Amino acid sequence: MTVTEAIREVASRPRVGTWPLLTRQVYVYRRSWTELVAAVLEPLMYLLTMGVGLGKLVGHAPGLSHVSYAAYVAPGLLAMAVMNAATAETIFGAFDRIKQAKLYDVVIATPMSIAEIVRAELWWATARGVLAGTGFLAAMAAFGLVHSVMSLLIVPASALVALAFAAAGLIAASYVRDWDDFQYVQLVMLPMFLFATTFYPLSVYPRGVQLLVECLPLFHSINLIREPALGAIGGDTVVAVAYLVAMTALCWWFAVRRMTRVLVR
């Protein structure tokens, strides 16, 4: 059976929806509160370190004399927290479900289609991303780093960021062979975290590097969250939304194909 035929076959089955898998996730995760705490605590530690500790030396945000360095770094860390929460679910979690626990080998024998499995994965990862983002936003507010009502837009922005990274993560999970491969995942995520303007603006780089950084999804995710956080929504937000919507659509489509290939051998 070719992949296209397989997709057609599962698409013709009656629809079950994502609900059974989502309830399963809630059931499995109801004791993993440390995951949720860590999702907020880790970026909070970075905020204390970079924003507050180092911020004393840096002073105000580069190029923005009315913004403290902490207020500049915080939205970048929020985007990272959302990315990490979403990809933790679709890279690490999904790898476990696909290849270790072999959960989906069982699920595809039910009326649930592969497209529905993918949708359930993405909804769940998005939920975790939004939870991490909202938790960190509350922490920012407690630190007095939220000044504008526009900051509420960070919640839907987190959803888009989480969805885009979740879809990309699911593709990565379909390629991972065993736990050792996760160091390559780290090799992509770490430089992205360090260089995608989390800690300093794009202007510190020479033009060639700027072009490279502008291709990174985390760069656009940070723009999408930093602009409303600083109370100034402009062209960068529009570009970021377009980038992330396109990334979501493309990765989602490809994730269904990859999952079909992995599950229907």
Partner 1 sequence: MTELSLAPPLREFAAEWLKYRRTWRGSIVIGLVNPLLFLTGIGIIGKLIDSSATGPLGGVSYLTWLAPGLMAASAMQMGFGSGGFGAFRAAAPGGGYRAASATPMSPTDILLGSLLFVTFRLSLLSAGFLLVQALLGAAPTWWAVLTVPAAALTGLAFAAPMAAWGIATKRFSTMQTVFRFVVQPLYLLSGTFFPLSTVPAWLQKVAYASPLWHGVELCRDINLGRLTFAAGAIHGGFLIAMVIAGVLFARVTYRRKLHE
8 A C-beta contact, residue 88 and residue 98 = no
Q: What are phi and psi of 100, to 5 degrees?
A: -95, -60
Question: Rounded to the nearest whole angstrom, what is the least distance from the CB of residue 69 to partner 1 in the complex?
Answer: 8
217, 168 in Cβ contact below 8 A? yes
CB of 69 or CB of 252, closer to partner 1: 69
Residue 182 within binding range of partner 1, rule CB under 8 A: no
Query: How many Å apart are CA 146 and CA 8, to the nearest integer?
Result: 49
Name the residue among 163, 160, 161 with its Cα closest to residue 196: 161
Tell the residue number behind the tokens 């510190």, with chain if given. Answer: 204
Q: Which of 36, 169, 34, 190 is nearest to 97 (CA)?
A: 169
Residue 89 Cβ, how far from partner 1 at the closest point, in Å?
A: 17
φ, ψ for residue 97 (rounded to 5)?
Answer: -70, -40
- Give the type of residue at 212: L
Q: What 8-state DSSP symbol labels residue 185?
A: H
Stretch that binds partner 1, among 119-127, 132-140, 185-193, 236-244 (CB under 8 A): 185-193
What would the x/- binding string for partner 1 be over residues 5 to 34, using CB under 8 A?
-----------------------------x
Among 138, 191, 242, 249, binds partner 1 (CB under 8 A): 191
Residues 263, 92: Cα–Cα separation, whole Å:
17
Contact region with partner 1 (CB under 8 A), list: 82-90, 180-188, 230-238, 253-261: 180-188
Among 101, 141, 204, 215, binds partner 1 (CB under 8 A): 204
| Shortest Å, Cβ 198 to partner 1 | 9
Q: Does 57 bind partner 1 (CB under 8 A)?
A: yes
Q: Kindly indicate which of the ranges 81-89, 116-124, 197-205, 250-258 contains the residues binding partner 1, using the contact rule CB under 8 A.
A: 197-205
Q: Are strands 60-61 and 64-68 parallel, antiparallel or unpaired?
A: antiparallel
Residue 31 beta carbon to partner 1: minimum distance, rounded to whole angstroms: 11
Q: Which residues bind partner 1 (CB under 8 A)?
A: 34, 38, 41-42, 45-46, 48-50, 53-54, 56-59, 62, 69, 180, 183, 187, 190-191, 194-195, 199-200, 204
